[in-house]
Structure 1
C-alpha cells in the first residue's frame, strides 16, 4: 500500500481533488469529515468538548460559532480542543487503514499535514495549489468569511510556497476543473507505474 498525504492551504481546492481521487476508486480518509462526524449530532466527542468548553454543544452537535469564539486566538484553548479531537481522528484513521489494507493506493486527506507532523505517516505528499488571487477570491466568497479571519487562518498554516517545495507532487487548481481532473488522473497513473502495476 502506498499512503498518499493530500494537503493544501485554505481555498486551494483540496476537497475537490480528494473527490477526484474517490471518483477514480482510490480510498480517501477525510480528516475534516471525520471531525464533523465526531462533533455532529450524537457525536462521540460532544461530552468531552462540552465539559471543556461549556455552552458550545447542543442537539445539533457542536455550535461552530460558539466553539470558534472559545478557541479563536487562544493557543491554550485550541491545544485543549486538539487534545480531545486528534486522538479520536487518529483512531478512525487506523480503522480506515485496516479496512483498506489490500488497496495499492490510499489517500489521507489531512489539512494540517505539515503543521501537525502528519507528513511522517505517509509515503508521498501531494499539495493542492492555486495562485494567491484565486485562493483569496474563493475564501472570501465563503459565508461569514472576513479578511481578518482569512489572514488569521493563513497565519496558522504553512505557506503555500513551502508546502509546494516539500511536496512530492503538486496538483494545480487555478485552471479548469477538467485540467485539475487530468492532473489527478496523470498522478494516479504515475504512482501505479511506480508500483509496477
Structure 2
C-alpha cells in the first residue's frame, strides 16, 4: 500500500512519520532524500552551484542551507529553478527505495510538498497532519529560532491548510499533547493496515 504523508511546516508531520516507522511502515522521507541528493560531492550539489553560484557553499564545501533557504523562500522563480534541479533526483531515489520495500509493506512517502507537487492522486491513501497557522508560527519561533516574519513567509510558500485537508483520506489534527498525536497516528496506521488487507 502506497501512502502519502504531508503537513505544513511545524505541523508535527515528522513526529507522525517517526511513529508510523516505529509501528512497521516503510517510510521514505522526501526531505532526507532532498538533503542526500545535494550532499557534498554529489552531482546534485554541483548542479546547484552551477545554477546559483559558489557563494551558496559553506567553508567546508557543504550546501549552506540557511543561505539557500533565504534565497528561494521569498522568490518563486528561484524556488522553481532549485526544484527543477532537485526534484528529478529526489524522484529517482524515491523510486529505487520504493522498489526495495517488501511487497506487503505499507510504504509511507513523507512528502512536505505533496499538494504543491500535484501528486496526491498517486497514492492509495493520503495522511495529512494539520495544525492552525498560529500554532505553526509559535512552534517555529520557539523550536527553530525563526522570527515571526520568517515563519509566516515559510507558511505562505506552502499550500494552504484547506488545500492539504482537501486531499486527505486520513486527517491528524495536531493541537494537543505528544501522547495524543502518537495515539492518533497509531489509529491511522491501524486503519491503513485494515485497508491494505
1:7 and 2:37 aligned:
no
CA contact (8 A) 2:3 2:125 kept: yes
* Superposition TM-score, scaled by structure 2 size: 0.91
Distance 1:42 1:141 in 2: 34
What residue in structure 2 maps to residue 56 of structure 1? 56
CA contact (8 A) 1:7 1:113 kept: yes
Alignment of structure 1 residues 20-169 onto 2, 5 Å: 20-54=19-53, 55-58=55-58, 59-169=60-170
* Superposition TM-score, scaled by structure 1 size: 0.91
Distance 1:168 1:137 in 2: 27
Q: Which runs of 4+ in 1 moved over 4 A?
A: none
Give 3-state SS (helix, strand or coil) of 1:70's partner.
helix
Moved more, 161-170 or 83-92: 161-170
Q: What do residues 93-130 of structure 1 show as CA deviations (whole Å, max 9, x unaligned)? A: 10011001413311000001111112132111110012
CA contact (8 A) 2:73 2:153 kept: no
What residue in structure 2 maps to residue 194 of structure 1? 195
Shift of 1:25: 1.5
Shift of 1:57: 2.1
Distance 1:97 1:25 in 2: 15
Structure-2 change in CA distance of 1:135 and 1:73 (3 Å): closer
Gapped runs of 5+ residues in structure 1? none
CA contact (8 A) 1:46 1:62 kept: yes
Give 3-state SS (helix, strand or coil) of 2:135's partner.
helix
Give 3-state SS (helix, strand or coil) of 1:6's partner.
strand
CA contact (8 A) 2:6 2:114 kept: yes
CA contact (8 A) 2:37 2:44 kept: yes
Moved more, 180-189 or 68-77: 68-77
Moved more, 13-22 or 39-48: 39-48
Distance 2:136 2:76 in 1: 25
Distance 1:5 1:108 in 2: 5
Give 3-state SS (helix, strand or coil) of 1:141's partner.
helix
